A = this chain, B = another copy of it.
Amino acid sequence: MLKGILEYAHDLLAETVKSGEAVIDATCGNGNDTLFLSKLTGNEGKVIAFDIQEQAIQNTQRLLDHHNRKNVILIQDSHDNMLQYVSPADKQWLGGAIFNLGYLPKGDKTVITTPASTLAALGHILQILKPGRMVVLVVYYGHEGGMKEKEALLQYAIQLDQKQYQVLQYRYINQKNHAPFIIAIQKK
């Protein structure tokens, strides 16, 4: 069956991330991906989750508490400051990562991810990603500024060397209202 965008994003990570690994949620939002990754990596693993908004951090903390998940490091900062928090940058240690591009659902629609910070964070994540592992980006672009970010991301993704990365686009093409799509980047 054709899988929906969120189901497919989670499936890709579930098939690659291993229990005990460290992963990154670059945009924790309301915490749904963070919770999913927390369970996937297990008590021996960890999730490093970023969001620039206090509300997102609070919502995610609440969700994690509700499910009694304790393997998440929540960081209220832009993901392009990632280098300050995750190290070492000279090793491939990351089991996987997810981005949800756009604004916080039910939150302030003027606070959005931007091309410069998204691409900076993505570039760093690709460096520390283990071979065979994936970054999954769920791209919402119906909001103001979204189209610009979408174009910048596609431009970046298209030029990634096919000897080093496989870059898949998974999208429903007959939907109205700028339906979100997936870009999945797997390191070879």
B-binding residues in A (CB < 8 A): 1-2, 12, 15-16, 132, 134, 154, 157-162, 165-176, 183-184, 186
Contact = CB atoms under 8 A, between A and B. Distances in A.
Q: DSSP class of A's interface residues: helix, strand, loop or mixed? A: mixed
Contacts of A12: 2
A172 B176 contact: no
A167 B174 contact: yes
19 contacts: A1-B16, A1-B186, A2-B12, A2-B166, A2-B184, A2-B186, A154-B173, A157-B173, A158-B173, A158-B174, A159-B174, A160-B174, A162-B174, A162-B175, A162-B176, A166-B172, A168-B171, A169-B169, A173-B183
Contact of A169 (B157, B166, B171, B186): B171
Copies of this chain, complex-wide, total: 2
Given A2-B12, A12-B2, A168 B158 contact: no
A168 B3 CA distance: 9
Contact of A167 (B1, B172, B186): B172
Nearest to A165: B174
A119 to B, nearest CB: 15
A123 to B, nearest CB: 15
A16 to B, nearest CB: 6
Most chain B CB within a 10 A radius of its CB, from A158, A159, A172: A172
